[in-house]
Amino acid sequence: MMAVPARADAAQTPDRHGDLSRAGIDALSHDAPAITLEQAADLAREVYGVTGEIRALSAEKDANFRITPDSGPRLLLKVTNAAEDRGVTQMQTDALLHLRAVAPDLPVPHICLTLSGHAAHIHKAIDGQEHMVRLLTFLEGVPLSTIPCPVTLHHDTGRVLARLTHAMRGFFHPAAGHVLQWDIKQAHLLRPMLDAVEDGNLRTRLTRLIDRFDAEIAPRLLHLRAQVVHNDFNPHNLLVDAREASRLTGVIDFGDMVHTPLVCDLAVACSYQIAEGSEPMANIARLLAGYTEVLPLETAELDLLPDLMRLRHATILTVGSWRARRYPDNAAYIRRNAASSLLGLSTLDQIGTDAVRDILRGSARLSLERVTS
């Protein structure tokens, strides 16, 4: 086994209109690494000098193991899918190293170095495939998606996202420009997948959204602030203290990191906070208030936020339909977020772009007044 230093490999990025599987949406076509508990324990001991109780964790495309060492806090051993672009994986590693250097108090995983002082290790499996292995600190808590979110937590969620974005402002990597379908600025790549949307009315709505993106939204994105961002700040990737959910204890899964307009990252976070009931935008308003206390938005960014939230829902619905048709045996899992995305899209349409924009502007304005008063 050979340890490698943490460095950037050249990213292989697909053509803008290339194969959809190369745009980061076809992970199901590649089996997760076939790493046994014994092999994982050997990697932890030989590469990192760590021994202890080890347990496999569920994952879609990687092999993850939680280690409870003989002494000290728990750790996470990640064995990355061989099909993953190594440059992109290295970018995620370097980003976590950057965050530890500039904002060590952010609740994100920290990279543990190998015995030879490297941030990652290349493991060659019996089948000849090479996997990048990393050891990270294990963040304690439960996913926010599994419990009711207290009203007070939305404001703090916005602040943590803004702090994370601000800390990433000085970071760049050659692989950051890779094409990722989950990046809202790549919404034009949804068009070839629309045939998989079985509901004709929904397919028409999504087509109109993409038409609007091509004609009006994409040109405006070119003029906005852009940087490397988390890009998947959803409740499944946010951990909270289990008992009362009074605070965020962790932000996980940096697998969708990409260089994009920062308001696209914010739109992802906001899109998951649309609520049922008489005040569907209340949680988003609170999240935005917390965000803008740390990182004020420009007017052009705020004005695009309603459309960008719609496009996030459009991405979930379209990609979900495309993947469910390709992998029918796994369709239930693939479509798990379809109902909430359809509700979010319909709610935004019912309220209307102007009304949503007014609500968001009001929240951002009140936040700015509190900061400056």
10-residue mean pLDDT series, the chain (373 residues): 32 36 56 89 97 91 93 95 93 98 97 97 90 96 89 93 97 95 97 96 97 98 98 96 85 96 98 91 95 95 97 97 90 88 95 93 71 54
Tally of CA atoms within 13 A in the half-sphere of 182 that contains its CB: 20
- Quote the pLDDT of residue 6: 35
Nearest to 140 by CA among 24, 20, 58, 248: 248
- Quote the pLDDT of residue 28: 52
Q: State the Cα–Cα distance between residues 121 and 134, nearest whole angstrom.
A: 7
- Quote the pLDDT of residue 262: 97
- pTM higher than 0.75: yes
Q: What are phi and psi of 279, to 5 degrees?
A: -125, 70
How many residues in the chain?
A: 373
For 145-168, the pLDDT digits (tens) are: 998 888 889 999 999 999 999 999
- Quote the pLDDT of residue 11: 29
> Which tokens belong to 320?
């979900």
SS (H, E, C) the chain: CEEECCCCCCCCCCCCCCCHHHHCCCHHHCCCCCCCHHHHHHHHHHHHCCCEEEEEECCCCCEEEEEEECCCCCEEEEECCCCCCHHHHHHHHHHHHHHHHHCCCCCCCCEECCCCCCCEEEEECCCCCEEEEEEEECCCCEEHHHCCCCHHHHHHHHHHHHHHHHHHHHCCCHHHHCCCCCCHHHHHHHHHHHHHCCCHHHHHHHHHHHHHHHHHHHHHHCCCCEEEECCCCCHHHEEECCCCCCCEEEECCCCCCEEEEHHHHHHHHHHCCCCCCCCCCHHHHHHHHHHHHHCCCCHHHHHHHHHHHHHHHHHHHHHHHHHHHHCHHHHHHHCCCHHHHHHHHHHHHHHCHHHHHHHHHHHHHHHHHHHHC
Residue written as token pair 């695009």: 304
Q: State the Cα–Cα distance between residues 157 and 246, nearest whole angstrom.
A: 11
Give every CB contact of residue 220 below 8 A, 6+ residues apart in sequence: 300, 304
- Quote the pLDDT of residue 23: 56
- Quote the pLDDT of residue 122: 96
- Quote the pLDDT of residue 58: 84
Q: Do 172 and 306 meet the contact criterion of CB atoms below 8 Å apart?
A: no
> Which tokens belong to 321?
């339909």
For 97-119, the pLDDT digits (tens) are: 999 999 999 999 999 999 999 99
